[in-house]
Amino acid sequence: MSDVRRHDVPSIIDRMMDRRTFVGALGGGVVLARPAARAQPLTKLYRVGYLTNATREQSTQLFREFTEGLRELGYVDRRNIIIETHYGDGTLNHLPDLAAAVVRSRVDLIVAGSNPIATAAKQATTTIPVVMVGTFDPVRFGLVASLRRPGGNVTGLCVDASPETSGKSLGLLAEIVPGLSRVGLLRQIGYNEPQLEAAARTLGLELHIVDVSAIDQLGSAFAAMAASRVGAVIVRGSLFFIAREQVADLAIKHRLPATHQFKEFALAGLLLSYGPILMDLYRRSAGYVDRIIKGAKPSELPVEQPAKFELVINLHTARMLRVTIPASLRASADELIQ
């Protein structure tokens, strides 16, 4: 059961940035409003490939948001559009082959969530439009030339809006853990975030980085962080989304307050989350599909940055970890999980 709060109480973190609404300006990115008009009758039955490294079960909620977004625009699967789902069954190793199979199926458009999935799609085709969802720093990772002018066959939505968003997660942990000096950074290998490292230096925090390339390495990764006496953990990378319950259990086992960008991790048992609303990003990705079907070129569709952020705190986990959540954070949280 959760208690939704909608109050704004000043704190040292709120002075870092406005957590509720931030219109991204990084690289000149432009937030695209969701179209209100319904889809016009199509002269062609378009085939959309939906590519994910998750299992069908793990992808259910995100896929539902995507299809609901399409429905709002007048598209219904098997009626005026065909959606072909391709699941990686919980591993990143098969993504190149999976992306190649999607291309061979002759879809007209590919929807790909997170960096490794979008990268696999981009490497598999330079002509089929790719709508990325929830990617991080797509310019630095070579997915697009710029946010304003992607320049190739890839466009869509990213999860980062400004360097301040990285600092906020660290600042939240610093508010909760007295005397915090060392923070573990559990990250998917290849997921470099210079903004987070810069924010740590600004806050006087040392980052202990542990890279993971497979889910079966999680146990040893948490043991290594605990042995290095970190006081809290930040989790980064799409690999962990499909194992978020395991990540939460390990954090609690080692008595480590932990945070991720997405609410789904706090729901799974992490102490807190701060970041964009992932479900909203998947629903909004339908707008890109609609525009491309109607003739827009991915190279000219600006990448959308998140406009809304939410802070979710798991009070049940806080009690298990025996940490005290300051009253100011309780009041400013968008949701408190009891």
CATH of the domain at 209: 3.40.50.2300
Q: Identify whether residues 292 and 272 lie together within a single domain.
A: no
Q: Nearest CA to 193 among 167, 215, 173? A: 167
Q: Identify whether residues 105 and 200 lie together within a single domain.
A: no
Does 5 have pLDDT greater than 80?
no
- Quick one: pLDDT at residue 165? 73
Label residue 100 left, alpha or beta by phi (over 0 means left) and psi (-120 to 50 means alpha): alpha
Q: Identify whether residues 129 and 231 lie together within a single domain.
A: no
Does 8 have pLDDT greater than 90?
no
- The pLDDT of 267-271, averaged and rounded, is 97
- Phi, psi of 62, deg, nearest 5: -65, -40
Q: Which residue has the tokens 């978020």?
A: 244
Q: Which domain holds residue 90?
A: 26-160+277-308
Count of domains observed in the chain: 2
Pair 161, 306: CB distance under 8 Å: yes
pTM for the model: 0.82
Q: Identify whether residues 82 and 135 lie together within a single domain.
A: yes
Using a 10 angstrom Cβ sphere, with 0-12 exposed, 13-18 middle and 19 or more buried, the burial of residue 154 is buried
CA distance 73 to 42: 13
Interval 177-236: pLDDT, tens: 999 999 999 998 878 888 888 889 999 999 999 999 889 999 999 999 999 999 999 999
Q: Identify whether residues 44 and 192 lie together within a single domain.
A: no
